[in-house]
Structure 1
Amino acid sequence: MPTLKARRPSQDPDLNLERDAIALHAALSNLVRVYQFRDRDQICCYDISVTQCYALETLVEQGPMRSKSLSDALKLDKSTTTRVVDALVRKDYVARLPDADDARAVSLKVTASGRRLYERINGALIAQQADLLRGLEPGVRAAATEVIRRLAKAAEARFVSGVSVGSCESACAAGSKSKTTCS
């Protein structure tokens, strides 16, 4: 990963953008890494995986849906989603019910115990966020949240449009020599 030297503004806007992109990449990489470990440590003590928790959260927030819609929301393939849902059904956190629009289809719905579990996990994670924000001024808290929201929305739009997914030909063309990243 490139390192940053003293951040002096340049007359070249592309150079400033490159420096800002490097700094953002480093900051987000660190934040995501910390949150992945935090989520794993916090969520797994409830006897579900992080992915199962994301599925539960999606069903709580968006309501009953078919497995295909859940796969799309989680950005998972169908077989992985099926395994995630199977585990949640076994633990009685999710139920498979006849779909209201198509009698041949099945809809996934959070059970009462699944909703209680989600509320416990979500409450604990929100309490951690409050601890993180406690020392920041209200304006800084609001601005940080808005920046993260905008970055997430822009990243999601790129993902949905296929810009940040698919083959890694552009990375390989840019000089990556690794067979594992460029095959």
Structure 2
Amino acid sequence: MAKVLIIAGDFVEDYELMVPFQALQMVQHEVVVVCPSKQIGDTIKTAIHDFEGDQTYTEKPGHLFTINGDFDATSASDFDALLLPGGRSPEYLRLNGKVIELIQAFVSQDKPIAAVCHGAQLLSAANVIEGKQISAYPACAPEVTQAGGEYVELEATQAVSDGQFVTAPAWPAHPQWLALFHELLS
């Protein structure tokens, strides 16, 4: 089975980290979560985003998630695939040069990459989606198009695959998004 890297940070969306982490392990993939400036055993705080009829999502405190990998020792060559959850963390993780270099290495090695919701901010910042169909939370559409990607507007329960990329607008797409990603891993 595959060894999957997840890059996360404080206030990552709870479901977009927890569900893939557990679901991918359930189908026998090894899943390692890293965070810049955090060590194995440290925790990150998550946030729960919900869709309650407002003009944007609401945000509530989530859970503590324990990091199980060493960011400083992480290399794309040690993994088969990359997963980028959304939430608030991508907005500041995209400012970290090593995060961007890692994403670019996964792309150059043609390894599967799954991104959901605001995870597309990391793909856009890494400048790796030119000409690719990419979905994301609608507020990230301008970043996708500015990075040369083709923003795909989908229902919240849908996902899109284009080459090595599997993307979706938000956590309600988990069944389709994770199924498409699992296909690329198999």
Task: Tell me the TM-score range normalised by the shorter chain.
Answer: under 0.3
The structure with the greater share of residues assigned to helix is: 1
- Bigger relative contact order (CA 8 A; separation at least 6): 2
Q: Given the two structures, how large is their TM-score scaled by the length of structure 1?
A: 0.22
Q: Which has the larger radius of gyration?
A: 1
The structure with the greater share of residues assigned to strand is: 2
Q: Given the two structures, how large is their TM-score scaled by the length of structure 2?
A: 0.22
